[in-house]
Amino acid sequence: MLHNALDTFLFAFNITAPIFVMLFLGIWLKKRNMVNDDFIKTASQLVYNIGLPVMLFITSATTNISQITDWNLLIAFCVMTALVFIGSLLTAHWHCKDARDQGVFIQGAFRGNLVILGLAFCANAYGEKGLALASLPVAMTVVFYNVLSVYVLNRSLHHASNSFMPTLIGVAKNPLIIAIFAGFAVNTLHITLPGVIMDSGKYLSQMVLPLALICIGGSLSIERLTRMDTTAISACVWKLILSPLIACAIAIGLGLRGDALAVLFLLAASPTATISFVMVQAMKGNGELAANIIAQSTLWSLITVTLGLGILQIMHWV
């Protein structure tokens, strides 16, 4: 029995460890000055505006939709996001001494890094099928995340004059959302893509996630990784423990099992999104707290994702 448990956790570790090797490679390269802030900024733009959209378009366009569309997965993830948002909203005053920090805390608690780390987990675990299963939840949740983030940051930072319209326009122009829905449209219409597009897309797909992970690693601060802040730790508990627990409980109640449940867990257990720091900075909030939540959640997710996936394996739910 002990041998089986060790095999199970080794399987889970083999999924998560390569992701964190790339993150720590990014930290090491930055420390050795082999990459700098300009490289990270340029590479991140390349990843976000070209690499990830191409990868998601190719995946959405070529996957058998009837085999990967699981509405229970999407329902469970959206309900979980709403519950975590409401729960962290109601409890934020317990964790934040300054009322202006509440929006930063709430965003750190519910907004996961689905686009890079979530997709990387899914791809490493289940390859093309994992990416395909994750595509629709990622597309829907990007919209959800942006609207909720603007609302909660406006609420705590008192930017009453800010409008949701620029956010909605930005969401509509988001290259990831456009790519996913364009891919599903091509798939639904049974359009055959030329071989040169498929081959070029596969080359980009092979490059994009490792480069993105190195950029995230390079942007992490060693000082923040070792700094223990109670507000940041509380946000990490919501993001890394409560979010996947709630998501999996809902999904299991809906009868979700196997690869779809594992993908749901991997997305729900992803650490806080790096874009949350950008939004907080832009709205003149506590950027230091936002950065600390990102760093701490990224570090601790190595343990929580591995343990969680191992437990799902032991329970024979995935």
User: What is the reported pLDDT for 89?
Assistant: 95
pLDDT of residue 308: 94
Confidence band (pLDDT; 50, 70, 90) for 244?
A: very high
Q: What confidence tens digit (pLDDT) does each residue in 181-206 have?
A: 898 889 889 888 888 988 888 888 88
Please tell me the pTM assigned to this model. 0.84
Percent of the chain whose pLDDT exceeds 90 = 36
What was the pLDDT predicted at 236? 96
- Quote the domain boundaries for residue 118: 2-314
Length of the chain: 318
In this predicted structure, what is the pLDDT of residue 256?
92
Question: How many domains does the structure of the chain reveal?
Answer: 1
- Type of residue numbered 99: A
Average pLDDT of the segment spanning 269-278:
88
**Strand, helix or coil for residue 227:** coil
Tell me what pLDDT residue 166 has.
Answer: 67
Look at the alpha carbons of 109, 52, 262, 305 in this order and tell me if their dihedral is positive or negative.
negative
Q: Residue 243: what pLDDT?
A: 97
The pLDDT score that the predictor gives to residue 158 is 63
Please tell me the predicted confidence (pLDDT) of residue 137: 87
Instruction: Give per-residue pLDDT as tens, 130-160.
Output: 888 888 888 888 778 888 888 888 888 765 5
pLDDT tens-digit profile of 34-93? 999 899 888 888 888 888 889 888 888 887 766 566 789 999 999 999 999 999 999 999
Residue environment code for 201-227, b if the CB has 16+ CB neighbours within 10 A, otherwise e? beebbeebbbbbbbbbbbbbeeebeee
How high is the pLDDT of residue 167? 62
Q: Mean pLDDT, the chain, as a whole number?
A: 86
Contact status, residue 110 vs residue 243, Cβ threshold 8 Å: yes
- Answer for the pair 263, 15: CB distance below 8 angstroms, yes or no: no
* Amino acid making up residue 204: L
| CATH number (domain holding residue 269) | 1.20.1530.20
